[in-house]
Amino acid sequence: MNQTREVTDGAMLSAIYIVLILITIFMPFFIVLGLFILPIPFIIYASKYDWRPSLVMFGAIILLSLFFATAFTLPLTILSGIGGIMIGSALHHRSSAYETWVRGSMGFIVGLLLVFLFAQLLLQVDFAAEMDTVLGESVELSEQLLEKYGFNQTGEEGLALIEESLSQVKNLIPVGIAIAGIIIAFLSQWGAYKVMNRLQSKEMHFPPFRMLNFPVAIVWVYFILLVTSFMDLDPDGLLSITVNNFSFLVGFILSLQGLSFIFFYWDHRKWSKVIPIISVVVTILFPFLLVYFIRIIGIIDIGFGLRSRIVNGDKEK
């Protein structure tokens, strides 16, 4: 009976996935939303039956998507399947919401790397050349603006700095993939919670953002990377590229910690949540204004146990 139910659920969720992937093909504007919705059938199935039966469903969906859709849907299916199964399996084993998020992020990062390789090797898409073209156009546009407003002479140093900064963007592709995987995992998991709560009468949700707390080890990793970055490294060398990517990623994590602390402090003081929300919006829209300050807050929070000190200090009063 259980095996029959397993097959039935797999067939139904596979059909739902095929409908979603067809919608994504014929409605291109849906593709961004599809990135977060397509993993949900895998999440639901893996959360109920774990990863082994989910792999069978994954294989069946790959064949069906190739038959009903096109080969171009294969990357999306691989990405959705790997990430969705990782999240669903974590839910099956009753992992915490944030632990599930970490596992899902790893799955989506692997999936994005496979998609990257698929496009590079099979579709002959040269991402480096495409990025060079885009960056070259950006530099030309900056130069035209400087000439238009009469800064072509005084702005030569600034233009050189812009060129140097843009040339480093290519080296940050790995961390870009990692951050994209983290974001897709979060939104897919959040969407799956909403669907499963509605269909299965569950009460799954992320703990409040103010409860997010990373281990102390992340601070030590950050300082090691910071010290390494001051060494005389070849800018185009593998070590320099690796350090820059990990520094960017760890800095992103510490910024999340800092924002989480702001929400914690405002909630602890019973103040309005307007300021924390504004801080998030401003950080996203204008990252160079607040990101380093918020990152420092995150480092202090983790390194010195700032939250526990605040709570214990209030208890002693």
Given a cut of 70, whether residue 160 has pLDDT beyond it is no
* 8-58 confidence digits (pLDDT tens): 999 999 999 999 988 888 887 777 888 899 999 999 999 999 999 999 999
Q: Over pLDDT 70: what percentage of the chain?
A: 81
Instruction: For residues 193-220, give the mean pLDDT.
Output: 87
Residue 72: its pLDDT value, please? Answer: 73
Residue 17: its pLDDT value, please? Answer: 94
Residue 262 near residue 279 (C-beta atoms within 8 A): yes
Residue 271: its pLDDT value, please? Answer: 86
Residue 151: its pLDDT value, please? Answer: 52
Residue 195: its pLDDT value, please? Answer: 93
* 235-289 confidence digits (pLDDT tens): 667 777 778 888 888 888 899 999 999 999 998 888 888 888 888 888 877 777 7
* 164-206 confidence digits (pLDDT tens): 666 666 677 788 888 899 999 999 999 999 999 998 888 898 8
| C-alpha neighbours within 13 Å on the C-beta side of residue 304 | 11
Position 242: which residue type? T
How does the average pLDDT of the chain come out, rounded? 83
What contacts 216, CB < 8 A, 6 or more positions away?
302, 303
Q: What is the DSSP letter of 69?
A: S
* 47-104 confidence digits (pLDDT tens): 999 999 999 999 999 998 888 767 678 888 999 999 999 999 999 999 889 889 989 9
Residue 191: its pLDDT value, please? Answer: 94
Residue 260: its pLDDT value, please? Answer: 92
More confident: 229 or 39: 39
**Residue matched to tokens 């397993």:** 6
Long-range contacts from 95-98, C-beta under 8 angstroms, 24+ separation: 97/189, 97/204, 97/205, 97/206, 97/207, 98/206, 98/207, 98/212
